[in-house]
Chains A and B, each alone.
Chain A
Amino acid sequence: MNESTAMKGREAGEMSSAAPSEATLLPPVDIYEDAAGITIKADLPGVSRERLTIQVDKDTLTIEGEAAIEMPEGMQALYADLRSTRFRRSFTLSPELAADRITAQVKDGVLTLQVPKRAEARPRKIEISVG
C-alpha cells in the first residue's frame, strides 16, 4: 500500500477535535530539512490511509490517526505497551514553507510528509526614506 495525496490548506474551525478526555499517543517523528524542504516521518502503526487525517489550519499542521486492530471477541489484555489506538501530533509551520503544497504518503504504518519551500522567496530591495 503506497498512496499519494495532495492536500489543500483549510480554514479554521473544521478540525475534528477529539474529546480531551480520550488518551492520545504522541507518535515518534523524524524531521529533517534539505534543499527542497522539510520532511516529516511519523510512526503510526495500524493506521491505514482511510483512518488518517492531516490538516493545515493557518500555520499549524496536525496529524491525527486511529489504529484499526482486529481483536477476537472475549479477548482480555494480558500485557499492553500501547494503551490507546489514537495518535495525534501537531507542528507549527514557518512562513517560507508552502503549506498548500504538502504531500503525504503512507506505507506500512509510516507517514511521510513533504513540506516544500516557497519558490517565490525573491530578494527585494528596501528603500530607506530620509526625512
Chain B
Amino acid sequence: MFGYLSSFENDLFGQLERMRREMDALFSGPPGPMGIRSVTSGTYPAINVGAASDRVDVYLFAAGVDPRSLDISLQQHLLSIAGERPAEAPAEAQFYRRERFAGDFRRVISLPEDVDPDRVEARYRDGVLHITVARREEVKPRQIQVE
C-alpha cells in the first residue's frame, strides 16, 4: 500500500527483461563486426523492414513527429530519413522522467539492391512512417517449366 512512496522503479518484469538482455549480450560471445550504419538498440526512431517479392516495406516508429518536417531520400538502395522532434513542456515543469527522445535524428538503412528508387510511397499515420519501395521486375521469382 505504500507503493506511491517508492521513488525508484520497482518493476520486476522490467528488471528481468533487462537481465535477460544483459545475459544475451554476455553469452552471444565477442561482438562480431557491426553494421557500419547500425545504431545502439533503443535509438529513436525504431525501424522495421520487411520484404515481399514485389516490394520492400520500411516502418519508422516516429511518434510525435510533424511528417512535413521529415526529410526522406533514397539514393540507389540507401534510404535515409532525417527529422526533428521538438521538446515540449511548460517552462515551470519539474521532470521526474525524461525517457522520450527530443532533438534531431537521422537513420540510414541499406535496402535490398533491387529496389526501384523511382517508385516510392510514404505515409504517416498514428506516429508510424510507412515507406513502400517497389522492387524491379526482373528479380521477382519466376516459375520455370520443365519440358
Question: Which positions in A face B, CB cutoff 8 Å?
Answer: 1, 26, 28-35, 39, 41-48, 59-60, 67-82, 92-95, 107-110
Contacts and interface: CB of A to CB of B under 8 A. Distances in A.
B128 A69 contact: yes
22 contacts: A26-B17, A28-B100, A28-B101, A33-B94, A33-B96, A35-B92, A41-B100, A43-B64, A60-B3, A69-B130, A72-B52, A74-B52, A75-B52, A76-B52, A78-B51, A81-B43, A81-B61, A92-B6, A94-B4, A109-B64, A109-B128, A110-B63
B97 A92 contact: no
A43 B63 contact: yes
B81 interface: no
Interface string B13-49: 0100100000000000000000000000101011111
Contacts of B126: 1, 45-48, 67-68, 108-109
A11 B37 CA distance: 49
B93 A108 contact: no
B3 A59 contact: yes
**Most chain B beta carbons < 10 A, residue from A92, A93, A108, A110:** A108
Contacts of B11: 26
A36 to B, nearest CB: 9
B90 A34 contact: yes
Contacts of B101: 28
Interface of B: 3-4, 6, 11, 14, 17, 41, 43, 45-53, 55-57, 59, 61-65, 89-90, 92-101, 109, 112, 124, 126-128, 130
Contact of A30 (B14, B53, B89): B89
Given A28-B101, A76-B51, A92-B3, A108 B95 contact: no
A34 B92 CA distance: 6
A26 to B, nearest CB: 6
Contact of A73 (B3, B51, B52): B52
Contact of B100 (A29, A46, A81): A29
B127 A109 contact: yes
A32 B92 CA distance: 10
B3 A108 contact: no
A69 B95 contact: no
A27 B14 CA distance: 11
A32 B93 contact: yes
B4 A75 contact: no
